[in-house]
Amino acid sequence: MFEVSDVDVRQALDDKESGWLYMSSPFCATCQHAERLLQIIEASTASFTCQKLNIQLAPDIAQSLQIESVPAMLYYKDGEKRAVFYSFSSIVAVLEKMKEVEKNVNGL
């Protein structure tokens, strides 16, 4: 997982890129738990990559993407928000949700 700035996110959306964006706050214990789960997923899944955004440094991005709370995992495709979820109960649950989102958005 690599940290990005609000400028990086805006550029990716403007360039119509696709991918996962994890949004969190450094002061949020639930966010720290979710990040550990995502790090395990990333280490065990070669095809998974994720960007990380500190939401406190990017309030305009949070507002424009209509993020309701953190931690939040957003999937964007062709520069548009396609799905967002806020639950990080377990590695299995997160992986299943990610697969479901990619299947629904990409038609896989």
Q: Is residue 27 part of a domain?
A: yes
**pLDDT for 108:** 54
* CATH number of the domain encompassing residue 92: 3.40.30.10
Residue 92 located in a structural domain = yes
Q: Tell me, what's the pLDDT at 48? A: 81
Q: Is residue 83 part of a domain?
A: yes
Q: What is the pLDDT of residues 28-85, one digit of tens each?
A: 999 999 999 999 999 998 778 899 999 999 999 999 999 999 999 999 999 999 999 9
The answer to the question of residue 6 being in a domain is: yes
**Residues 6 or more apart in contact with residue 69 via CB below 8 angstroms:** 86
- Tokens read off for 81: 């928000």
Name which of 47, 92, 45, 101 is nearest 73 in CA terms: 101
Q: Is pLDDT above 80 for 96?
A: yes
Indicate the number of domains in the chain: 1
Is the whole model's pTM more than 0.85, yes or no?
yes
Taking only the tens place, the pLDDT of each residue in 12-21 is 999 999 999 9
State the pLDDT at residue 8: 96
Domain range enclosing 40: 2-97
| Domain presence at residue 64 | yes
Reduce the DSSP state of residue 53 to 3 states and report it: strand
List b or e across 23-57, with b for residues whose CB sees 16 or more CB atoms inside 10 angstroms.
bbbeebeebeebbebbeebbeeeeeeebbbbbbee
Distance of CA 94 to the CA centre of its chain: 11
